[in-house]
């Protein structure tokens, strides 16, 4: 790219095949399948497929950061996801392309970055707003897969044409739990006995509308579908999207027992860093709008949440994760009970992370690792885990209240960086389907291509030993505004483009023109540079430190490639 009005990064730095030392040979074999530099054969015609394809169970959590036992969190009880991880290849450093539900899900389901989907808010449908891009489930449907959607897979509403992209992507109309319409209802019991629309919301499920919760309904429906698909004769792609731990933090109240308050601590860096550019700060407006937080009368934008309430939020977030984990356990146990665990690839991920008080921030809406880093794991029967012998269980349900929940092996942990735009080509490779070709620049006219696993030929030779990923986030102004977290397209004036490598996270906030969808990469409003080795929490911004001027110059040039 060249000139003042330039398109943002669409390529990625060269990936090293390096991974954690001592990883098993099976991991190397799978990595070769997943990430090698390969030729891109032509896609198969409609309806063509090899015989004997595996099925795919694609599980998506909502707003789940890497607060899981399998990612080294000693507090969080996630035994069923940890069990899946112990039989999977686990990507330690996987990143969403934007820390917002709609843009992220549209991005990884189309394998296009937000600048290509032209979606930064929740108010447009890519097929009419950007290009008629083929989605992962649509591509599998074209190759004779039965494609099924349960819960929150695409973001609902305009983002997916009010149909979850049916009938393009799905064989039958997607299922949404009926109780999701009560998401923001006043069902949270306050100390005075009245009901509120709170952020922190442990509930008695029997007292809820329809006496259930959305994720319980989604699991029930997914289990029903698993029982049906065995007899179809076609491989299936079943996507199950859970709503938790997205706010409000509504979950069965018994999960609080897993997290005594005395065990919950504040974030290690609960204050706004002194060198954080104001444009980079997310003022967590949606958290402020909840009844219990509003009652705290916190000043905008930097007023801190009282420490005791911070602890309550963190406790409820972890409880919501454990609740969601039990639903994953029920689903995996049903997969096995239906005799499908030996011929079904299981993918588990999240749309983005969530800040729990780090940098004085809550929610997502930023380029920090806590907002963009996600869990990502692939279970491939016979490859990442041996096929179970007769009478052995692959995925027995683990009850965190009654079963012994100890540390489990983390599976085949991979260290280097990957992006969620890689999911589409990864799944195709594992299924033996032709991988969509790399997207040209621009690619608005190309229906089937991938922006995952792109090679950055403009990188310097020393950068080729690094693995780069790219994230971005829009802002309406240089200082926090009420709409800073979720600006409408017409209100975007600044875009933060961020590079994450093995050693650093680098961000530049530049002018953006929403009417032309162009960024002026030479008009830099602010910058950030964090070194992981000395500053893993990304608290000490070195962008304006003269000692790192050469590195800033190099990375700024890389953003412009």
d(CA 251, CA 202): 5
**Annotated active-site residue in 53, 70, 101, 359:** 101
If we measure between CA atoms, which residue out of 379, 432, 55 comes closest to residue 234?
Answer: 55
CB atoms within 10 A of CB 550: 9
C-alpha–C-alpha distance, residues 260 and 29, integer Å? 43
Beta strands in 42-172 (DSSP E): 55-61, 89-95, 146-151
User: Left (φ > 0), alpha (ψ -120 to 50) or beta: where does 420 sit?
Assistant: alpha
Give the closest residue to 543 by CA, choosing from 510, 515, 505. Answer: 505
* 155 part of the active site: yes
- Work out the burial of residue 308: count CB atoms within 10 Å of its CB; fewer than 13 is exposed, 13-18 middle, 19 or more buried: exposed
DSSP codes, 268-311: SS-S--TT--GGG----HHHHTSHHHHTT-PPTTTPPPPHHHHH
Contact, 494 vs 510, CB < 8 A?
yes
Longest dimension (CA), the chain: 66
Extract the tokens encoding 252: 């069965």
53, 70, 155, 428: which one is catalytic? 155
Bridge partners, 504 (sequence order)? 531
36 catalytic per annotation: no
Look up residue 514 and give its two tokens: 């929403």
Question: DSSP states of 325-346 as a string?
Answer: HHHHHHHHHHHHHTT-TTSEEE
Q: Which residues are catalytic?
A: 101, 155
């Amino acid at each position: 790219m060249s000139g003042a009005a330039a398109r943002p990064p669409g390529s990625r730095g060269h990936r090293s095949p390096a991974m954690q030392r001592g990883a098993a040979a099976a991991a190397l074999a799978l990595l070769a399948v997943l990430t090698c530099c390969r030729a891109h054969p032509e896609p198969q015609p409609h309806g063509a497929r090899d015989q004997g394809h595996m099925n795919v169970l694609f599980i998506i959590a909502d707003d789940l950061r890497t607060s899981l036992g399998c990612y080294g969190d000693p507090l969080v009880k996630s035994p069923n996801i940890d069990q899946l991880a112990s039989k999977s290849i686990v990507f330690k450093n996987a990143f969403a392309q934007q820390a917002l539900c709609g843009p992220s899900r549209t991005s990884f389901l189309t394998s296009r970055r937000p600048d290509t989907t032209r979606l930064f808010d929740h108010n447009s449908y890519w097929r009419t707003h950007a290009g008629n891009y083929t989605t992962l489930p649509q591509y599998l449907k074209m190759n004779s897969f039965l494609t099924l959607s349960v819960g929150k897979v695409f973001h609902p509403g305009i983002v997916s044409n009010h149909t979850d992209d049916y009938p393009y992507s799905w064989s039958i109309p997607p299922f949404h739990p009926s109780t999701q319409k009560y998401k923001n209802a006043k069902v949270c019991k306050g100390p005075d006995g009245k009901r509120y629309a709170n952020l922190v919301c442990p509930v008695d499920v029997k007292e809820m509308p329809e006496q259930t919760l959305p994720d319980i309904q989604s699991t029930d429906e997914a289990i029903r579908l698993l029982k049906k698909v065995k007899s179809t004769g076609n491989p299936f792609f079943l996507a199950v999207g859970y709503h938790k731990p997205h706010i409000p933090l509504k979950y069965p109240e018994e999960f609080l027992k897993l997290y005594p308050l005395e065990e919950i601590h504040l974030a290690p860096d609960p204050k706004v860093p002194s060198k954080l550019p104001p444009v980079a700060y997310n003022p967590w407006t949606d958290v402020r709008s909840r009844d219990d937080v509003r009652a705290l009368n916190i000043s905008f934008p930097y007023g801190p949440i009282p420490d005791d309430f911070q602890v309550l939020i963190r406790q409820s977030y972890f409880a919501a994760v454990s609740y969601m984990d039990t639903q994953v356990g029920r689903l995996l146990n049903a997969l096995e009970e239906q005799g499908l665990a030996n011929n079904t690839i299981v993918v588990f991920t999240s749309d983005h992370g969530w800040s729990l008080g780090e940098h004085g921030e809550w929610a997502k809406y930023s380029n920090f690792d806590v907002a963009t880093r996600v869990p990502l794991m692939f279970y491939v029967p016979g490859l990442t885990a041996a096929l179970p012998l007769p009478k052995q269980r692959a995925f027995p349900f683990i009850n965190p209240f009654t079963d012994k929940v100890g540390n489990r092996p983390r599976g085949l942990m991979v260290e280097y960086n990957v992006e969620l735009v890689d999911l589409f080509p990864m799944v195709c490779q594992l299924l033996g389907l032709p991988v969509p070709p790399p997207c040209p620049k621009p690619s608005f006219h190309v229906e089937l291509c991938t922006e995952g696993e792109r090679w950055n030929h403009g990188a310097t030779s020393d950068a080729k030993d690094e693995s780069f990923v790219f994230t971005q986030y829009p802002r309406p102004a240089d200082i926090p505004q009420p709409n800073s977290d979720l600006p409408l397209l017409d209100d975007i004036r600044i875009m933060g483009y961020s590079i994450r490598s093995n050693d650093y996270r680098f961000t530049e906030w530049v002018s953006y023109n929403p009417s032309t969808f162009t960024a002026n990469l030479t008009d830099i409003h602010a910058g950030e540079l964090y070194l992981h080795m000395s500053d893993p929490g990304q608290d000490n911004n070195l962008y304006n430190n003269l000692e790192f001027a050469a590195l800033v110059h190099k990375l700024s040039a890389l953003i412009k490639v």
